[in-house]
Structure 1
Amino acid sequence: MGSLTTRGVVIMSPALLAWLGFTTTGIAAGSFAAYLMSMFGTTWWIAWLQSAGAAGFGWLGTSFSAAVGGTMGKIISTVCNVTVKNEP
């Protein structure tokens, strides 16, 4: 499960960033990214997401997103595969 999720995160990360509003031309007006920027200003993580949306993640960002995706996939799989037994 983890490797499938990891591949999905690496492939979907640029599409997800664009969907959130972190595009190659900057932050899209009226997007979730614009909302975050209006709420928090230009913090380090907004700047990092804007940079990743404009130029891609690079090897470090891709590795990080793959690790996060694999971990999240494992957690979700563990939570979803729990058997609950209801006894009267």
Structure 2
Amino acid sequence: MVLLMALLATVPILQMAGFTATGIAGGSVAAGLMSTAAIANGGGVASMAAGGLVAAAQSIGATGVLATSTYVGAAVGDAALAGHVASNR
């Protein structure tokens, strides 16, 4: 039950963070994450198919749909990004 509640809360949280139906909101947390991802990836943001967490979050925020099996790969794929950002601080 707790997991279900957490999954249902994910969509509005992502939308509040700036992952919206019209794209990533300027000056938002989402915009900062996108910038960080682009820098870490050498200038581009990884697609969802390539394991991009920012792309997955934008897809969820835009559609309002959380398909966990699709996004698990994106979360795993961006673990390297988190390590890269942490090591460069």
- Fold shared by both chains (TM-score > 0.5): yes
| 2:24 is aligned with 1:24 | no
Q: Kindly provide the CA deviation profile for residues 16-51 of structure 1, in whole angstroms up to 9, marking residues without a partner as x.
A: 111111111110111111001111121211111111
Q: Evaluate the alpha carbon distance shift between residue 63 and residue 27 of structure 1 in structure 2; reply closer, same or farther with a 3 A threshold.
A: closer
Tell me how many residue pairs correspond in the alignment. Answer: 61
Partner of 1:33: 30
Q: Kindly provide the CA deviation profile for residues 50-82 of structure 1, in whole angstroms up to 9, marking residues without a partner as x.
A: 111111335x328978xxxxxxxxxxxxxxxxx
- Could you tell me which runs of 5 or more consecutive residues in structure 2 were left unpaired when the two chains were aligned: 39-44, 47-51, 73-89
SS in 1 for 2:3: helix
Partner of 1:61: 68
Q: Which letter maps to 2:24?
A: I
Identity of aligned residues (%): 34
SS in 2 for 1:30: coil
User: Does the 8 Å CA contact 2:56/2:71 hold for their aligned counterparts?
Assistant: no
Q: Which has the higher contact order (CA 8 A, sep 6+)?
A: 1
Partner of 1:49: 57
SS in 2 for 1:29: coil
Task: Name which one, 1 or 2, has greater alpha-carbon Rg.
Answer: 1
Please, what TM-score do these two structures have when normalized by structure 1? 0.57
Moved over 6 A (4+): 62-65
User: Does the 8 Å CA contact 2:20/2:62 hold for their aligned counterparts?
Assistant: yes
- Could you tell me which runs of 5 or more consecutive residues in structure 1 were left unpaired when the two chains were aligned: 66-88
